[in-house]
Structure 1
Amino acid sequence: MLTHPTHNRLVALGLNGMAKALDEQQRQPDIATLAFEERLALLVDREATERENKRLIARLRFASLRQNAVVEDIDMKAPRGLDKPLFQKLVAGEWIDRHQNLLIIGPTGVGKSWIACALGHKACRDNRSVLYQRLPRLFEALTLARGDGRHARLLRTLARVELLVLDDWGLAPMTAEQQRDLLEMMEDRHGRGSTVVTSQLPVEHWHELIGNPTIADAILDRLVQSPQAHPQGREPTQSRRQASDA
C-alpha cells in the first residue's frame, strides 16, 4: 500500500495536518464511501486548521497577555459598569480596523486587566498582531534598550503591532525620559494602530501625571483624539467630548 510512503511524503513537505488526517481516514472503515474529492477536501481542511492553530499559538506567545482571559468568560452582570452593546462592538473589533484607542478606567479590582487581555486574545483569534505591556516594565525595558542599542528596534516593534495593550498606566509620575518615550510610541502608532490603556487614574488627571505640559498635550492629543470606549458606564468620548459610537 502507498499509505505509509504518502504519509512520510506529506510530513516531508510540511503538510502535517494532512498527514494526520490521512492516518485517521485509514482507520475509518466507512471512509471508502466518500468520493475522492470529499476525502481530499477533508485533508485540506485539516491542514488549514492545523496551520491556523499554529499561527494563533504564535500570536498569543508574542502577545504575552498577562491574563488567560477570553471575552466569552466575561460576566456582564458583574458590578463593573460595562455597557453590553458597547462591549459587543469592542469584541467585534472594527475599532481596531479604524485605528481607534480604548481607555479602560476604574478602581482596583474591577477587572480592567482581565477585560484588556480578553480583548487582546480575541484580536489574536481574529488574526491581528497584539502585544501586552505593563507600562512601568515597558519604561524599564526602553531604558535598558537605550543603553545597549536596541531602543529604536523596540520602538519599531511597538509601532508595528495592530493592538498594543498598556496596562497599569499612571502608577507614578513620569520622568522626562519616559515622557519622550511615550510620545514617540503614541506618535508612531497614531493613525496606524490601536492602543488599549488601563488605569485607576481618571483621564482628567493624566495631563498632570505626564508632567511636561507640551509633551502631555501631544500625547493626549494622539491617544484621546479618536472615539474612545470607557467601560465604567460612560459613553465613548472623543477629545473629551461625547460621541455616538465606539
Structure 2
Amino acid sequence: MTTPTITRTAAGPLDPLGNDLVTTLKALKLGQLTATWPERLALARQRKLSHAEFLQLVLADEINRRESRSAMLRARTAGLDPTMRLESWDELDDLTYDRALLADLTSLRFTEPGHGVLVLGPVGVGKTHLATALGHIAIRRRLSVHAARADKLFTRLRAARLDNTLDAEIRKLARVEVLILDDFALRPLDATETNDFYEIIVERHRRASTIVTSNREPAEWLTMMSDALLAQSAVDRLTSGAHTLIIEGPSYRQRDRLTRRAAVDAEDENR
C-alpha cells in the first residue's frame, strides 16, 4: 500500500499528493507540476473552479515553466548574458537618453521591416546591457538571436577561412533574425575584417535586424576600416532606416568604484 505525499506550507498541510498521481504525472513528463499542484488545488477550491478550469490552470503553469526553460536555453545558445535584462537595467538620473525611443525599441517593431539599431555612447554607460536586454526580449518572442563581441566574431570568421567554412558562417549569420554586434570599431578593422563586415551587412540588409553597440559615431567607423568603398557601402546600408539610441553620462563602473570607496571610507570612520 502506497503512502501519499503530504505537502506542507507555513499555513499547515495541504491535500495529500498520492504516489499514483505523482507516478502518472512523471510518466507524462509533467513531474514539475507536483511542486505547485496542492497550492493550485487549494486555489481552485477557493475560486470554485470547474474541473476543466483547474486543468487549464495547472497546464498553463507547465507551459510557462517550459517556455521559461526554453528561453533560458536559447538565450544561452545565443550568447546573451543572463543578468543583462531590461528589468535589471539601472535607470539612473545621471544618464541621458531618449526614453521614449527605448520604450519603442522594446516593442521590437524595428524587426518587422528588418531595421537596425545603433546604441552609441561613451564607455561604461550600459550599451551592452541594453542591447543584450533587447536580445532577451527577442528570445521570448521566439526570434532567433546571436550576440557576439565584434572582434571575437571577426576572429571566428578569420578561422573559418582556414577550414573553408566561411561561406557557411556568413549564411548562418545572415539567417539570424536579430544579430547583436557589441563593441564595434573599438580598434581599426583590417582588410579581411572590413570585407567580412561588408558581407554580413549586405546579406542582412532589409532582411534581418542588426543591433550594433559602439563608442564611436558611424562617421568615425569609415576611418577605422581599410577599404573606404566597402566601408561606405556597408555603413550606408546599416544606418539607413536604423534607430539610433545615444546614451550619455558617467561610466557606471566608475560610479560603482566610487560607491565602494565611499563605503570603505565610511566603515573606516566608524571603527
Distance of aligned partners of 1:9 and 1:151 in 2 relative to their CA distance in 1, 3 Å threshold: farther
Contact 1:101-1:224 within 8 A present in 2 as well: yes
- Separation (CA, whole Å) in 2 of partners of 1:197 and 1:21: 42
Equivalent positions of 1:20-39 (< 5 A) are 22=37, 28=42, 31=45, 34-39=49-54
The alpha-carbon deviation at position 114 of structure 1 amounts to 1.6
The alpha-carbon deviation at position 15 of structure 1 amounts to 3.8
- Separation (CA, whole Å) in 2 of partners of 1:25 and 1:3: 15
| CA displacement, residues 84-107 of structure 1 (integer Å, 9 cap, x when unaligned) | 111111112111222111111111
2:178 pairs with 1:163: yes
- Separation (CA, whole Å) in 2 of partners of 1:148 and 1:12: 46
The alpha-carbon deviation at position 66 of structure 1 amounts to 4.1
- Separation (CA, whole Å) in 1 of partners of 2:167 and 2:45: 56
The alpha-carbon deviation at position 29 of structure 1 amounts to 9.9
2:259 pairs with 1:231: no
Instruction: Report the count of equivalent residues.
Output: 232
| CA displacement, residues 25-44 of structure 1 (integer Å, 9 cap, x when unaligned) | 67x59759642212211232
2:37 pairs with 1:44: no
Hey, what does 2:128 align to over in structure 1? 113
Aligned residue type for 2:113: R
SS at match of 2:87: helix
Equivalent positions of 1:140-219 (< 5 A) are 140-219=155-234
| CA displacement, residues 3-26 of structure 1 (integer Å, 9 cap, x when unaligned) | 544543443343445565557667
Contact 1:123-1:129 within 8 A present in 2 as well: yes
Contact 1:17-1:48 within 8 A present in 2 as well: no
SS at match of 1:164: strand
Contact 2:225-2:231 within 8 A present in 1 as well: yes
Equivalent positions of 1:61-76 (< 5 A) are 61-66=76-81, 68-76=83-91
- Separation (CA, whole Å) in 2 of partners of 1:68 and 1:13: 33
SS at match of 2:183: strand
Distance of aligned partners of 1:188 and 1:4 in 2 relative to their CA distance in 1, 3 Å threshold: farther
- Separation (CA, whole Å) in 2 of partners of 1:192 and 1:5: 52
- Separation (CA, whole Å) in 1 of partners of 2:45 and 2:164: 59
SS at match of 1:230: strand
Aligned residue type for 1:210: M
- Separation (CA, whole Å) in 1 of partners of 2:81 and 2:51: 46
- Separation (CA, whole Å) in 1 of partners of 2:160 and 2:29: 37
Distance of aligned partners of 1:25 and 1:89 in 2 relative to their CA distance in 1, 3 Å threshold: closer
TM-score by length of 2: 0.75
Distance of aligned partners of 1:20 and 1:108 in 2 relative to their CA distance in 1, 3 Å threshold: same
Which contiguous aligned blocks of 4+ residues in structure 1 show a shift greater than 6 angstroms?
none
Contact 1:64-1:131 within 8 A present in 2 as well: yes
Q: CA RMSD in A?
A: 2.7
Aligned residue type for 1:109: G
Aligned residue type for 1:181: D
Distance of aligned partners of 1:174 and 1:67 in 2 relative to their CA distance in 1, 3 Å threshold: farther
The alpha-carbon deviation at position 161 of structure 1 amounts to 1.9
- Separation (CA, whole Å) in 2 of partners of 1:58 and 1:139: 25
Equivalent positions of 1:73-92 (< 5 A) are 73-92=88-107
Hey, what does 1:243 align to over in structure 2? none
Structure 2 runs not aligned, ≥5 long:
3-16, 249-271
SS at match of 1:79: coil
Distance of aligned partners of 1:67 and 1:34 in 2 relative to their CA distance in 1, 3 Å threshold: closer
SS at match of 2:182: strand
